[in-house]
Chains A and B, each alone.
Chain A
Amino acid sequence: GAGVSQSPSNKVTEKGKDVELRCDPISGHTALYWYRQRLGQGLEFLIYFQGNSAPDKSGLPSDRFSAERTGESVSTLTIQRTQQEDSAVYLCASRLTETQYFGPGTRLLVL
């Protein structure tokens, strides 16, 4: 079956520009997560959606970061006024029971 997909796979942008990253979770998965992975480091939790509950935004590093999810489907992570420190791989995961399944990530480079 189809796994978690993310687009674009790579994004190069200039400092100060806004970017949108997309995640399509596995169909039927009620929970969706965004993580950030800086070069050579582990995963940092950003935000979590569960059904119709208010999202857990406790990991968002600044108010330049926001995310939305339409029902139990697509999610978009938006970074406004990008900074060079935002360069990283952004990973999305979805979950039905206890296991999170990850997408391939979007590699973001801010010049």
Chain B
Amino acid sequence: AQSVTQLGSHVSVSEGALVLLRCNYSSSVPPYLFWYVQYPNQGLQLLLKYTTGATLVKGINGFEAEFKKSETSFHLTKPSAHMSDAAEYFCAVSEGRGAQKLVFGQGTRLTINP
């Protein structure tokens, strides 16, 4: 069975600083990996995804993530934080092609300090 661990339920960075949100997964087969963002009182919006191919994937709003199979990680980064990045971020894994369900991490709340 798959699982997702997001290290740090709360992360706080200064505006302009590097954002790093950690995600580790377990899966018995090659996974599909996703990062979603949730703004207050809204649904989840897809930031980026890894399915196959290039392990460094770029998403919206300047975010990117790198799939590292050897480390079973899919950490999310952004070089320079903006106040509008304050939100809850969720990492999710599915079992790849044909898989039907996503397993989500517990989420990381990102706070940006001015």
Does A103 interact with chain B (Cβ within 8 Å)? yes
Nearest residue (CB) in A for B109 is: A40
Smallest distance from the beta carbon of A28 to chain B beta carbons, Å? 18
| Chain B contacts with A in 76-114, Cβ cutoff 8 A | 90, 92, 94, 97, 100-107
Report the separation of the CA atoms of residues A104 and B43 in the bound assembly, to the nearest whole angstrom: 4
Taking a contact as CB atoms closer than 8 A, the residue among A43, A105, A107 that contacts B104 in the complex is A43
| Closest B residue by C-beta to A58 | B101
Interchain CB contact under 8 A, B100 and A99: no
B44 contacts chain A at the CB level, 8 A cutoff: yes
Residues on the A chain within 8 Å of B44, using CB: 43, 91, 93, 102
The answer to whether A91 and B90 touch (CB under 8 A), given A42-B104, A45-B101, is no
Count of chain B residues near A, Cβ 8 A = 23
Q: How many A-B residue pairs have CB under 8 A?
A: 49
The bracket for how many chain A residues form the interface is 20 to 34
Q: Are B49 and A48 in contact (CB under 8 A)?
A: no
Interface membership of A50, Cβ < 8 A: yes
Say whether B55 faces chain A, with CB atoms less than 8 Å apart: no
Q: For the complex, what is the distance from the CA of A68 to the CA of B89, rounded to whole Å?
A: 30
In the complex, what residues of A have CB within 8 A of residue B36's CB? Answer: 102
Asked whether B100 lies within 8 Å of A31 as measured between CB atoms, the reply is yes
Residues of B within 8 A of A42 (CB): 90, 104-107
Supply 14 A–B pairs (Cβ within 8 Å), ascending by A. Answer: A33-B101, A33-B102, A40-B107, A41-B106, A41-B107, A42-B105, A42-B107, A43-B102, A45-B101, A48-B101, A50-B100, A56-B100, A56-B101, A104-B42
Instruction: Report B's interface with A, CB cutoff 8 A.
Output: 32, 34, 36, 41-46, 49, 51, 90, 92, 94, 97, 100-107
